[in-house]
């Protein structure tokens, strides 16, 4: 894989081209994947044309890394701080993998008093992208964390997109604050949708008239979050165009209901894999 440093909307990023012609763009800010275009079928991720690239604000789209907190479930900024900081590139030692690393610093310790190393490995294969987040406790006391690979999948039209594979999964519907078992064989989206599911063992499938994408995640990611803001909430998001919600669906590999407590020296990894079917 050929990896080059580029500027993307004025900010430092890496652009990788794999042997089969598929491409990947990752911002150093947040180690956020911004684009994945397999050789067949073009771009698969949604990046808002109004996303803010100022080296501080969380970027709307691609694959934000939410860590060490999910959403507002804690005292840290929403979705933690890792998506708001610059990561650095390191050699992965593997030709198909791009690696970025974030270690604790004065800035992180002000928010969260723990010694850590976070690593993002983005691995390209034909028609396939795997993003793996690895956390290591580099300190001498245990700490708890939550995490999510908050993937914005590109959809042609949310009205015709279906997400299969969650039937039978325990669901917390955050919009209605209702807990239930999912009954639908295929989720459809016609309004705000924000739910946390117990992750099923089998992969999910995003089905659109134009094709299918398989979404799988590591067993260490015990939840799958599905989010689309819908028209009303979408209109309030300053960094998304009014019609932006029609072209995205977040399917997130997450570890949130039971945070991991990482012992000194211990390591945790969670991954999500996207595969064109
Ligand atoms: O606007 P943010 O901070 O990137 O968060 C986006 C969304 O992220 C999702 O994971 C949450 O389930 C939603 O509740 C949240 O609104």
Residue 29 among the catalytic residues:
no
**Residues in the chain with pLDDT values less than 70:** none
Question: Cα of 71 to ligand 1 centre, how many Å?
Answer: 6
Complex ipTM > 0.90:
yes
Q: What is the CA radius of gyration of the chain?
A: 18
58 lines ligand 1 (CB under 6 A): yes
Is the Cβ–Cβ distance between 61 and 71 less than 8 Å? no
* Domains of the chain with CATH codes: 2-276 (2.70.98.10)
Question: Which of 252, 259, 234 minimizes the C-alpha distance to 244?
Answer: 234
Looking up tokens 């992750």 gives 199
pLDDT in tens, 203-216: 999 999 989 999 99
pLDDT the model gives residue 42 = 93
pLDDT in tens, 221-255: 999 999 999 999 999 999 999 999 999 999 999 99
pLDDT the model gives residue 210 = 86
**Which of 47, 76, 227, 229 to probe ligand 1 with, by most ligand atoms within 8 A of CB?**
227
Which one of 15, 29, 114, 150 is the catalytic residue? 150
Whose alpha carbon is nearest atom 15 of ligand 1? 71
78 lines ligand 1 (CB under 6 A): yes
């Amino acid at each position: 894989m050929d990896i080059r440093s580029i500027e993307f909307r004025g900010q430092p990023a890496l652009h990788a081209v794999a042997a089969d012609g598929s491409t990947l763009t990752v911002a150093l800010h947040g180690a956020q994947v911004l684009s994945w275009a397999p050789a067949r079928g073009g771009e698969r991720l949604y990046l808002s044309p109004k996303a803010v690239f100022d080296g501080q604000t969380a970027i709307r789209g691609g694959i934000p890394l939410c860590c060490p907190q999910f959403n507002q479930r804690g005292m840290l900024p929403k979705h933690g701080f890792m998506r708001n900081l610059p990561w650095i590139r390191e050699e992965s030692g593997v030709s198909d993998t791009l690696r970025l690393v974030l270690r604790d610093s004065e800035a992180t310790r002000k928010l969260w008093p723990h010694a850590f190393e976070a690593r993002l490995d983005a691995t390209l294969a034909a028609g396939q992208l795997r993003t793996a987040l690895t956390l290591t406790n580099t300190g001498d006391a245990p700490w708890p964390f939550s995490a999510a690979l908050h993937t914005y999948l590109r959809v042609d039209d949310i009205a015709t997109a279906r997400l299969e594979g969650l039937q039978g999964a325990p669901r917390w519907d955050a919009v209605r604050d209702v807990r239930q078992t999912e009954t639908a064989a295929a989720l459809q989206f016609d309004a705000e949708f924000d739910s946390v599911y117990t992750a099923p063992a089998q992969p999910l499938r995003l089905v659109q008239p134009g094709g299918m994408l398989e979404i799988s995640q590591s067993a260490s990611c015990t939840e799958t979050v599905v989010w689309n803001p819908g028209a009303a909430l979408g209109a309030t998001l300053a960094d998304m165009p009014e019609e932006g919600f029609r072209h995205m669906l977040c399917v997130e590999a997450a570890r949130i209901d039971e945070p991991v407590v990482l012992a000194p020296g211990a390591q945790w990894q969670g991954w999500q894999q996207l595969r064109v079917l």
